[in-house]
Amino acid sequence: MKRWFYLIVILQLLFLVVEAGTKQLEISRGQVVTLKVVPVDPRSLFMGNYMALSYDISNLNLAKIPHEGALAAYDKYDTKVYVELVPQKPWAVAKAIRLTPPPPEENKLYLQARVRYGFSPRDKSMLAVEYGLEQYFIPETKQEEVNRMQWNPRGKTPQITAEISVTKKGQGYIKRVLVEGKALGY
Amino acid sequence: METTPTPQNGASFLERLPTELEAWQKDNLIREDQAQALLARYGLLAGETPRTLHRSRMVSILAVLGVVLVGVGVILLIGANWEYIPKWTRLLLLILATAAVYFGGYRMAYKSKSYPKVGLALLLLGSLFWGASIFLIGQMYQLGGFDGGGERQAVLYWFIGVLPLAYALSSPLHMLLALVLGTIWLNMSLFEERTFAPEIVMLIFLAVGILLYALGRLHYMGKIMQRLSVSYHWLGLLYIFQTVYVLSYRDMFSSLSFAPQPWLWIGLILAAGGVAVLALFFTSLVSDRAALYEALGLLLLLAVNVTMAAIFASYPQAAETTHLPYDQHASILPMAFFNLLLFGLTIGVIALGWARNQPGLMNFGIFVFFVQVVSRYFELFSDMLSSGFIFVGAGLLLVFMGVVLERSRRKLLAGMAQRRPS
């Protein structure tokens, strides 16, 4: 029992170090792009309050963006797609959409995504996707501040962007969220 | 002079044991070292009295409750995402606390054995801290995932980490935590995925219930893992009864939805359940008769589950979930079947509790019976004539069963009286 206990506990602790270490490494090594954000804010069961983010590249117009294969191939919930990005100022834009990842030798910047809603009956070319980057966890004490920041009824809506670190395999990690160019300090 | 065994009405086996051992030693039936070995076998200390035993149980309860509060508190603190402590400091503190609590608890429970009950509770706290650390990492790196799947994945990691520890420590507390986590993960997966139809969720729950119950019985029969059987057994029972109870409602079958479903996963759970139930069936052939009936009951449930899966799988596979038109008459047959099944299972559980002398099982069966009667009374209220006949019929059946049992009990007693030497 003693040997198994030590082995499992050491594996558990190692898991924490490796999990945190690999995420840190992937974020620091990834290429950083800025995306335009459209925020809202709910709460998760174990990880606390978060801003639910949606990006302007969360809705893709397949009539305008070049895409691989037939349109119908994208019209299914949870289909995995790869969105090729152009990292330009002030934020990156979608250049192409593919059903398979670009070959590594092409050295292209792309994000993995999943189809959420198929084409709407009104517009047979608008595709809603998720990048797995839709939750930005914030301190409970900052909830009010974030709410005011996002939903200012009198003033103009601030410009919110997110810096995303993208790995070579298209996995994205949120590095920072910026409001009017100023990073949220949490 | 021989001591007379003292009657200790109402005292449990553990409470009686120290006094009995003392008496046996006085009567030179056993030596002192054998008495010590017997005490150690049941986790008792020399000189243990009913009062100290009660206190020991109280220590366990207090320690576990305290640990649960601390663990939940730490998870809430993680959720609060307190910005005054930097994230890396938070993670380092939590990893150090996890290691300290694990090794401290192990020392107290198994090495020095100075505070065994508190030590076991601390080992549970270590696992709660470990889970909190996973959530902290998810929060630090914004690992929300697709559809909030990051949180679901974190719960799965937690479950995978705690389950082997339950076996390594042979700890019922860790087993309970692992199975609760597994249940949370299963529910998150089934209810957050938009493609699962309600009847498919019920089908999966029933399959999981059968698997857990059969595993619980197998753990119980394998003497080494007997301590771990309780959580499997009860959780399996809850899964089975809540599923059959939900399926006993008429509305469950008045409109059916169908969509592409995870048949591979359903097949795997059913296959695992099938293997466990068959293993239980063959083991029960050499065991007591109650175990055989129990295994046959599980086989019947498995057959129901496989039939349900076959019916649902035969539906035309639409791309999205679609609903059949409301059909009140089509729902009567499955509703009647699942009500009968629930009734049969309830009687089975009460009988099992009686045969095994487990009041908990009997109370559970009586509770389910009460819930079923009240539910049907209100559900079928609009049609009082037929409901009345159903209730009277079911009641008469129970009274008849009582008469049969009473007769068999009398025969048994008469047979025993004849065999008794005069």
Arithmetic mean of pLDDT, B210-224: 86
Cα distance between residue A138 and residue A160, in whole Å: 15
Q: Model confidence over B113-166: pLDDT tens digits? A: 778 888 899 999 999 999 999 999 998 888 887 777 888 899 999 999 999 999
For residue B260, name the pLDDT band (cuts at 50, 70, 90).
low
With CB atoms and an 8 Å threshold, state whether B169 touches A141: no
The answer to whether the Cβ–Cβ distance between B168 and A19 falls below 8 Å is no
ipTM score: 0.77
d(CA A128, CA A120): 9
Percent of chain B clearing pLDDT 70 (strictly above): 82
Segment B12-35 mean pLDDT: 83
Inside any domain, residue A22: no
**Could you read off the pLDDT of A90-134 as tens digits, one per residue?**
889 999 999 999 998 888 899 999 988 766 667 777 888 999 998
Question: Based on the domain organization, do B214 and B306 belong to the same domain?
Answer: yes
Question: Does position A72 have pLDDT exceeding 90, yes or no?
Answer: no
What was the pLDDT predicted at B52?
72
Confidence label for B292 from pLDDT (cuts 50, 70 and 90)? confident
* B163 and B199 together in one domain: no
Model confidence over B354-365: pLDDT tens digits? Answer: 888 888 888 898
A13 touching B, CB under 8 A? yes
Q: B78 and A48 in contact by Cβ < 8 A?
A: yes
> What is the model's pLDDT at position B267?
84
Residue B206 pLDDT: 92
Residues B348 and B210 in one domain: yes
Nearest CA in chain B to A21: B137
**A109 lies in some domain:** yes
Q: How far is CA A170 from CA A32, A102, A117, A173, B297, in A?
A: 12, 10, 21, 10, 51
- Least Cα distance to A83 among A70, A100, A64 occurs for A100
Please state the φ and ψ torsions of residue B218, each to the nearest 5 degrees.
-65, -40
Burial of B164 per CB tally in 10 Å (0-12, 13-18, 19+): middle
The pLDDT, as a whole number, for residue B184 is 92
Of A17, A23, A132, the CB nearest to B146: A132
Q: Is residue A122 part of a domain?
A: yes
Which distant-in-sequence residues (6+ apart) come within 8 Å of B265 by Cβ?
B204
Q: Is the pLDDT of residue B386 over 60?
A: yes
Mean pLDDT for the stretch of residues B385-414 = 75
Residue B345 and residue B351: Cα distance in Å, rounded? 10
Tell me: pLDDT of A45 over 60: yes
Residue A100 at interface with chain B, using a CB cutoff of 8 Å = no
Shared-domain flag, residues B159 and B95: yes
Domain extent for B31: 1-48
> Which DSSP letter does residue B85 get?
S
Instruction: For residue B130, give the nearest of A12, A45, A141 by CB distance.
Output: A12
Q: Which of B27, B48, B69 is the C-terminal boundary of a domain? A: B48
Average pLDDT over every residue of B293-299: 89
From the CA of B91, how many Å to the nearest CA of chain A?
A: 9
Report which secondary-structure segment, H or E, holds A15: helix A2-29
- The reported pLDDT for the residue numbered B322 is 56
pLDDT of B301 reads 92
Q: Give me the half-sphere count of Cα atoms (radius 13 Å) on the Cβ side of residue A156.
A: 5
Task: Tell me the DSSP string of B39-50.
Answer: HHHTT--TT--H
Residue B168 falls inside a structural domain: yes
> Is 60 exceeded by the pLDDT of residue B8?
no
Report the gap between the CA of A6 and the closest CA in chain B (Å): 9
pLDDT at B384 over 60: yes
* Among A1, A139, A174, beta carbon nearest to B83: A139
Higher pLDDT, A144 or A13: A13
The range of the structural domain enclosing residue A121 comes to: 29-183
Return the half-sphere exposure (C-beta side, CA atoms, 13 A cut-off) of residue B30. 14
B267 plus B392 within the same structural domain:
no
B144·A133 Cβ contact <8 A? yes
What gap in Å lies between CA B362 and CA B372, rounded to an integer?
Answer: 15
What are the Cα distances from residue A7, in Å, to A13, B103, B162, B294?
10, 12, 13, 38
Q: How many folded domains does chain A comprise?
A: 1
User: pLDDT tier at B278 (50, 70, 90 boundaries)?
Assistant: confident
CA distance A21 to B407: 71
Question: Which residue shows structure tokens 């299914």?
Answer: A76
- Torsion sign, CA atoms B233, B238, B239, B245: positive
* Confidence grade of residue B13 (pLDDT, cut at 50, 70, 90): confident
* Shared-domain flag, residues B179 and B155: yes
pLDDT tens digits for B312-334?
A: 777 666 555 555 555 566 677 88
What is the domain count for chain B?
Answer: 4
Region of B180 (left: φ > 0; alpha: ψ -120 to 50; beta: rest) is: alpha
Q: How far apart are the first and last CA of chain B?
A: 28
Domain assignment present for residue B53? The answer is: no
Residue A47 is assigned to a structural domain of this protein: yes
Does some domain include residue B418? no
Closest residue of chain B to A18, computed from CA coordinates: B137
In 3D space, the residue among A53, A94, A100 whose CA is nearest the CA of residue A74 turns out to be: A100
* One domain for residues B202 and B348: yes
Nearest to A135 among B130, B134, B142 (CB): B142
Rounded to an integer, what distance in angstroms lies between the CA atom of residue A29 and that of residue A21?
Answer: 12
Of the ranges A27-36, A107-116, B81-90, which is most confident?
A: A107-116
Say whether pLDDT at B236 is over 90: yes
Q: For residue A90, say if its preceding peptide bond is cis, omega within 30 degrees of 0.
A: yes
Place of tokens 């589950």: B305
Radius of gyration of chain A (CA): 19
Q: Where is pLDDT greater, at A39 or B110?
A: B110
Nearest-angstrom CA–CA distance, A156 and B210: 58
Percent of chain A with pLDDT strictly greater than 70: 90
- Interchain pair A12, B135: CB under 8 A: no
Amino acid at position B173, single letter: L
In terms of DSSP H, where are the helices of B285-383?
289-313, 332-356, 359-379
Question: Are B264 and B229 in the same domain?
Answer: yes
pLDDT of residue A113: 93
C-alpha to C-alpha distance for B299 and B288, rounded to whole angstroms: 17
In a domain, residue A51? The reply is: yes
The most confident of A140-149, B207-216, B286-295, by mean pLDDT = B207-216
The rounded percent of chain B whose pLDDT value lies above 90 is 25
Q: Select the residue of A78, A136, A142 nearest B142 (Cβ to Cβ).
A: A136
pTM flag (> 0.80):
no
Nearest residue of A to residue B159 by CA position? A12
Q: Are A170 and A82 in contact (CB under 8 A)?
A: yes
In B, minimum Cα distance to A112 occurs at: B146
Can you give the pLDDT at residue B324? 58
Query: What is the predicted pLDDT for the residue at B72?
Result: 87
pLDDT, tens only, B98-111: 999 999 999 988 88
> Are A50 and B139 contacting, i.e. CB atoms less than 8 angstroms apart?
no
- Section B3-9 average pLDDT: 52
Same domain, B398 and B361: no
Q: Are A50 and A41 in contact (CB under 8 A)?
A: yes
**A179 against B41, higher pLDDT:** A179
Per-residue pLDDT for B399 more than 90?
no
In-domain check, residue B16: yes
Beta strands at A80-86 and A31-40: parallel, antiparallel or unpaired? unpaired
Q: Is the pLDDT of residue B84 over 70?
A: yes
CB-CB under 8 Å, B154 with A46: yes
Average pLDDT, integer, range B26-48 = 79
In a domain, A33, yes or no: yes
Structure tokens at B213: 């119950």
Both B228 and B312 in a single domain? yes
> For residue A149, is pLDDT > 80?
no
Residues B319 and B213 in one domain: yes
